[in-house]
Amino acid sequence: MAQAQQERKTDIGPPHYEKHLPPVVKKNYGKWKYHEILKPGVMVHVAESGDKLFTVRAGSPRLMSTKTIRWYAELADKYCGGHLRFTSRNNVEFLLTEEGKIDPLIAELKANGFPVGGIGNAISNIVHTQGWIHCHSAATDASGIVKSVMDELEEYFSSTKLPGKLRIALACCLNMCGAVHCSDIAILGVHRRPPKVDHSRLPKICEIPSVVASCPTAAIRPATVDGAKSVEVDEDRCMFCANCFTVCPSMPLNDPLNDGVSIWVGGKVSNARHEPMFSKLAIPHIPNNPPRWPEVVDAVKNLVEVWAANARPHERMGEWIERIGWPRFFKLTGIEFTKYHIDDFKHAGLSYKRSAHLKY
Amino acid sequence: MADDNGKRQTPKLDELTTGPWPSFVREIKQAAETNKMSGDLLGQLELSYEEKIGHWKHGGIVGVMGYGGGVIGRYSDVPDKFPEVAHFHTMRINQPAAWFYTSDALRKLCDIWEKHGSGLTNMHGSTGDIIFLGTVTDELEPTFSELTQAGFDLGGSGSDVRTPSCCVGPARCEWACYDTLNCAYDLTMSFQDELHRPAFPYKFKFKCAGCPNDCVASIARADMSIIGTWRDEIQVDQDAVAEYVDSGMDIQSDVVMNCPGKCMKLEGRKLHIDDKDCVHCMHCINTMPKALAPGKDRGACILLGSKAPIVEGALLSSVLVPFIKMEPPYQEIKDLVEKMWDVWCEEGKSRERIGEFIQRVGMGNFLEAIEVEPVPEMVAAPRDNPYIFFEEFYEEGDEEEEEENE
């Protein structure tokens, strides 16, 4: 008998979360009392009822084959009654009720190359974008730098020896998919040369008013080039943000010689103690050096270790810098201060030092 | 470049298979064992590592019937070299709230993806969706069909409502001031049409954080940031405070001195909080979870407008509603959102985020348009520039009329 054609479903949304919650969560939903970090990567939440939920957090690469996802599922079956979750920063969390299963789970994770940690005063994983794996506008690769940096700094994931939390994020271009603009340390792909306009194709595939409007510094204007209605770029006004390329494929900025990464510091998202703040420029440009970007790794490691050696307990990077002042930050880290560090977009004056509060 | 066995050589990527952090190269190679698309992805990535440039063409409109979002078109710009990634589109799948999964659900997703795509995923994308990374145009409908049969749906992309996301909330966290999972799910279901069929000037993101720690970075990444908070007294267990004192915690330096409201005093083994000066920053609670907890009168603060730098600069969300009780079905929030969308859709420019729109038209004018009264909680300080667009003024003769009317 022929199988009846199933009616096409749309607009059903995700599965209701209740279908996936472990029994201990359903029972104690909204009735948790306190939590404790037991050791790196392991915490316990205790409910008002006395029930305990143990979480084991492991570093996860974000880019995952189905084979690894299936392995996570197997671990969940073996240790957690089939339940796990992922975190907002792309780690995996196994949700156990049996304390005795924690150490065997950790052993199995580590034996397969998955470090356990990321909770509390630690690096929690590097939020990142697609890079050369999938993005048309990437000025750098994302996963390669993330792997390289985390390899070097893995000890700060697997321990809680930092003064406070450390959030590192990477965006492969200024679109900042994932909004890295509020990270303790942000790695941002940048271009340094203007777009190369293909005047023969542009009139066929680009909307000129959209291209003109896309430029934050009004560097683009309509122009007739070789008889075709195209655009020209005032290269003195161009700061290589590549938004024009985002709206017009005929003016790419990707340039292997000049693309690279910049490094930003001091942002935070949480309201704890200091209000949220943007990351500020530390290093304007480091050339791409795949596969391991050693200069980027060294720069990030230096920032982490100088902060860790000098900050007070709980002080996030931005809070530490605010206390000691930016001049001392540049001195302690050995980073060069240049004209690029001084803002020149609108309202730039608000970031200038408008007082005599200096340390000598 | 192939070796003697015909297997592709990837010397640069191979360097990223060693080291203590899990290797994404190992993940791609695993998928490539049984999938040609992933094999070609590996090859193209190695080329990118050699040439220091990406090899993806700009965009391309692909999707499933009846939806305008959820699929991102992607085409290799070297398809002769890597034919299996000539098309390599991404599908965004709406994740379950707070990323909770059963092993069965994960296996189901793996079954579907191994059948129809590269076998590579992102768990998860930056907005929060499950990312199915790489398939051809002809597989989009069949994949979508299997996903919906399994109870999953696509997420948002383009100028639409993007997939809402939330923190772990009351599922595990004692600090959750409202049900973030329920809120995110409710918003997702209420706005399915706006999510799947882009009709806005640009994207619009909701992110639900249970407390001011904001573990989903909503204040930095969401157009509408819903951040849980409380408005009554912090709950204090003085016995537990005493235990922290006895354990050697330096409450004076680490907690009292770090309080931005300067509202705390430690006297012996007792902690005093003058709650009217508490700014609800969470620091003291973070530090002493057994002794302190958010108050009982809980709800959320709603902030608006955050975005990444392009075009007019980055913004953090700013206060729109200082405090609102969070009760399903959150009708007040939905009414507010509909009013905002009406104004923004009518007057917003193409690719203008609502935060940029507000910067252009003025927050005061925007508030008037959405019928929300201005309150001091919305500003860090009033304006310090005198360029006031006065709208009220007298005409000649008004004064005389007033005197007559008195």
Tell me which residue of B257, B273, B337 sits closest to B304, measured CA to CA: B337
Q: How far apart are CA B330 and CA B321, in angstroms?
A: 14
Crossing angle of the two packed helices A66-80 and A102-111, in degrees rounded to 10: 160
Say how many Å lie between the first and final Cα of chain A, rounded. 89
Are B53 and A259 in contact (CB < 8 Å)? yes
Q: How far apart are CA B293 and CA B232, in angstroms?
A: 11
Tokens 């297997």 locate to: B7
**pLDDT score of A2 more than 70:** no
Which residues of chain B from 287 to 346 reach within 8 Å of chain A, CB to CB? 287, 289-290, 293, 306-314, 316
Tell me which residue of B116, B182, B176, B197 sits closest to B149, measured CA to CA: B116
**For residue A1, what pLDDT band results from cuts at 50, 70 and 90?**
very low
Contacts of B360 (CB under 8 A, 6+ apart): B352
**B103 vs A: CB within 8 A:** yes
Q: How far apart are CA B387 and CA A20, in angstroms?
A: 55
- At residue B52, the 3 state secondary structure works out as coil
DSSP assigned state of A9: P
Å between B189 CA and nearest CA of chain A: 6
- At residue A250, the 3 state secondary structure works out as coil
Å between A270 CA and nearest CA of chain B: 5
The first and second tokens of residue A335, run together, are 């980073």
Tell me which residue of A85, A12, A172 sits closest to B128, measured CA to CA: A85
Residue B102, Cβ density class (10 Å: 0-12 exposed, 13-18 middle, ≥19 buried): buried
Which of B59, B192, B215 is the closest to A136 by Cβ? B59
DSSP assigned state of A46: E
Question: With contacts defined as CB-CB under 8 Å, which chain A residues touch B310?
Answer: 174-176, 216, 241, 243, 246
Q: How far apart are CA B138 and CA A176, in angstroms?
A: 30
Range from A36-40, A178-182, B2-6 that averages highest in pLDDT:
A36-40
Cβ atoms A54, A43 nearer than 8 A: yes
Are B119 and A66 in contact (CB < 8 Å)? yes
What pLDDT digit, counting tens, does each position of B321-351 carry?
999 999 999 999 999 999 999 999 999 999 9
Kindly list the distances between the CA atom of residue B183 and the CA atoms of A270, B206, B250, in Å, as whole numbers in the listed order.
20, 10, 38
Question: With contacts defined as CB-CB under 8 Å, which chain A residues touch B113?
Answer: 66
Preferred mutation among B111, B123, B282 to probe A, highest tally of A CBs within 10 A: B123
Q: What is the CA radius of gyration of chain A?
A: 24
Are A30 and B215 in contact (CB < 8 Å)? no
pLDDT in tens, chain B (406 residues): 555 445 679 999 999 999 999 999 999 999 999 999 999 999 999 999 999 999 999 888 899 999 999 999 999 999 999 999 999 999 999 999 999 999 999 999 999 999 999 999 999 999 999 999 999 999 999 999 999 999 999 999 999 999 999 999 999 999 999 999 999 999 999 999 999 999 999 999 999 999 999 999 999 999 999 999 999 999 999 999 999 999 999 999 999 999 999 999 999 999 999 999 999 999 999 999 999 999 999 999 999 999 999 999 999 999 999 999 999 999 999 999 999 999 999 999 999 999 999 999 999 999 999 999 999 999 999 999 999 999 999 999 887 665 666 5
What pLDDT digit, counting tens, does each position of A95-125 carry?
999 999 999 999 999 999 999 999 999 999 9
Sign of CA dihedral B129, B133, B137, B141: negative
Taking the CA of residue A96 as centre, how many other CA atoms within 13 Å lie in the half-sphere pointing to its CB?
22
For residue B229, the surrounding DSSP H or E stretch is strand B224-230
pLDDT at B403: 63
**B353 vs A: CB within 8 A:** no
Å between B238 CA and nearest CA of chain A: 15
The first and second tokens of residue B184, run together, are 């995110």
Are A17 and B97 in contact (CB < 8 Å)? yes
Which residues of chain A from 316 to 335 reach within 8 Å of chain B, CB to CB? none
Tell me which residue of B93, B85, B95 sits closest to B135, measured CA to CA: B85
Within a 10 A sphere around the Cβ of B65, how many other Cβ atoms?
A: 9
Backbone angles phi, psi at A222, to 5 degrees: -65, 145
Are B310 and A70 in contact (CB < 8 Å)? no
**A278 vs B: CB within 8 A:** yes
Q: What is the CA radius of gyration of chain B?
A: 27
Tell me which residue of A46, A291, A333, A322 sits closest to A144, measured CA to CA: A291
Nearest-Cα residue of chain B relative to residue A249 = B58
Tell me which residue of B114, B112, B118 sits closest to B86, measured CA to CA: B118
Question: With contacts defined as CB-CB under 8 Å, which chain A residues touch B307?
Answer: 179
Question: With contacts defined as CB-CB under 8 Å, which chain B residues touch A255?
Answer: 53
Å between A18 CA and nearest CA of chain B: 9
pLDDT at A15: 98
Å between B329 CA and nearest CA of chain A: 15
Contacts of B289 (CB under 8 A, 6+ apart): A34, A35, A36, B174
**B220 vs A: CB within 8 A:** yes
The first and second tokens of residue A353, run together, are 């030092």
Question: With contacts defined as CB-CB under 8 Å, which chain A residues touch B219?
Answer: 182, 269, 271, 276
**A258 vs B: CB within 8 A:** no
Helix H segments across A81-181? Answer: 102-111, 143-157
Q: How far apart are CA B233 and CA B298, in angstroms?
A: 10
DSSP assigned state of A76: H
Strand partners, B227: B209, B301
Are B220 and A276 in contact (CB < 8 Å)? yes
